[in-house]
């Protein structure tokens, strides 16, 4: 048998389970496990593994960061140390971020973390890749992302920092609002402009860049809303 895909190799090693036992634990079919072993685990499969075994979703999908999610008490201890200026070692590739609602800074998340965003789970240190000044209009659950690619030019250039408000309902959005969404089986979130037709069932997503090669509008019904973009912080 050939070696499993790296995403599944990490899962098998961390859980210590054979494919059949893993399938039973996450209520997946043996065929799913076989397919994931060949081509890589799906986002839903990765989320099921993450929830069942307490593993970081980003680590499952990319191998970056640490495997295990911290417990609630461990997370609170990490945040307290950061807010108090403790010089605890920082994992490679991450930056300490103050994450309390009273902080003057807001965490910059990876696009993978944004794609699996949940208002019910706290942001962990492994999701954070930097920090930016907190704008006054951002809630305590708000976060930032660093723009990738040129699909939203000229208004948003690569490496611009955008602020995302996740406490925004779908029906509170207006035509031409800028949103961050997670679509289909994509692991990463994506940044687009919202186009609303005559009804809220007629909603689409499009890039801002008129020269972008992909001009096809994507139905919003194929995507989950992560949050509304409420501003940007450009660094010069």
Sign of CA dihedral 197, 200, 202, 203: positive
At 117 the pLDDT is 65
CA distance 152 to 68: 35
- Strands 105-109 and 143-146, bridge-based pairing: parallel
Domain spans in the chain, listed from the N-terminal domain onward? 6-62, 93-236
Residues 90-116 pLDDT 10s: 444 333 334 444 568 888 988 888 877
- Asked if residue 37 has pLDDT above 80, the reply is yes
HSE value, Cβ hemisphere, 13 Å, CA-based, for 170: 13
* pLDDT at residue number 70: 63
Distance CA 54, CA 89 (A): 22
pLDDT digits (tens, 9 = 90+) for 146-172: 999 899 999 999 999 999 998 888 888
Does residue 199 or residue 52 have the better pLDDT?
52
pLDDT in the model for residue 215: 76
Residue 192 has pLDDT above 60, yes or no: yes
Residue 200: how many other CB atoms lie within 10 Å = 11
Q: Where are the alpha helices (DSSP H) in the chain?
A: 6-15, 19-25, 30-39, 43-53, 57-62, 72-83, 111-115
Residue owning tokens 């499952």: 60
Q: Which residues lie below 8 Å from residue 224, measured CB to CB, with a gap of 6+?
A: 181, 182, 183
Q: Output the CA angle 119-128-180, nearest 5 degrees.
A: 50
DSSP code string of 196-228: E-SSTTSEEEE-S-TT-S--PPEEGGGEEEEEE
Average of pLDDT values for 37-56? 87
Pairing of strands 161-165, 178-183: unpaired
Given a contact cutoff of 8 angstroms between Cβ atoms, the answer to whether 30 and 19 are in contact is yes
Over residues 201-217, the mean pLDDT reads 84
Which residues touch 18 (CB under 8 Å, ≥6 apart)? Answer: 12
- The CATH code of domain 93-236 reads 2.10.109.10
Which pLDDT band, with edges at 50, 70 and 90, does 89 fall under?
very low
What is the predicted pLDDT for the residue at 199?
67
CATH number of 6-62: 1.10.260.40
| 101 backbone dihedrals φ, ψ, rounded to 5° | -65, -25
For residue 76, pLDDT over 70 is answered with: no
pLDDT above 90 as % of the chain: 29
> What's the mean pLDDT in 32-56?
88
pLDDT band at 194 (very low <50, low <70, confident <90, very high): very high
């Amino acid at each position: 048998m050939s070696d499993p895909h790296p995403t599944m190799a990490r899962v098998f090693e961390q859980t210590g389970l054979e494919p059949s036992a893993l399938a039973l634990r996450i209520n997946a079919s043996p065929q799913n496990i076989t397919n994931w072993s060949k081509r890589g685990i799906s986002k839903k499969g990765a989320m099921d593994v993450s929830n069942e075994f307490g593993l970081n979703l980003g680590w499952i999908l990319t191998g970056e960061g640490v495997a295990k999610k911290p417990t609630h008490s461990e997370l609170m201890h990490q945040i307290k140390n950061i807010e108090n200026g403790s010089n605890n070692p920082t994992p490679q590739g991450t930056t300490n971020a103050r994450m309390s609602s009273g902080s003057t800074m807001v965490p910059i998340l990876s696009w993978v973390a944004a794609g699996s965003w949940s208002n019910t789970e706290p942001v962990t240190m492994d999701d954070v890749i930097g920090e930016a000044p907190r704008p006054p209009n951002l809630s305590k659950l708000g976060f930032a992302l660093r723009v990738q690619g040129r699909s939203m030019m000229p208004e948003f250039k690569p490496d611009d920092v955008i602020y995302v408000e996740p406490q925004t309902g779908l029906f509170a959005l207006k035509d031409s609002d800028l949103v961050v969404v997670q679509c289909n089986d994509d692991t990463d979130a994506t940044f687009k402009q919202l186009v609303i037709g005559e009804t809220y069932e007629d909603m689409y997503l499009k890039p801002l860049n008129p020269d972008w090669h992909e001009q096809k509008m994507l139905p919003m019904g194929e995507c989950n809303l992560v949050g509304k973009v409420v501003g940007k912080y450009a660094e010069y």
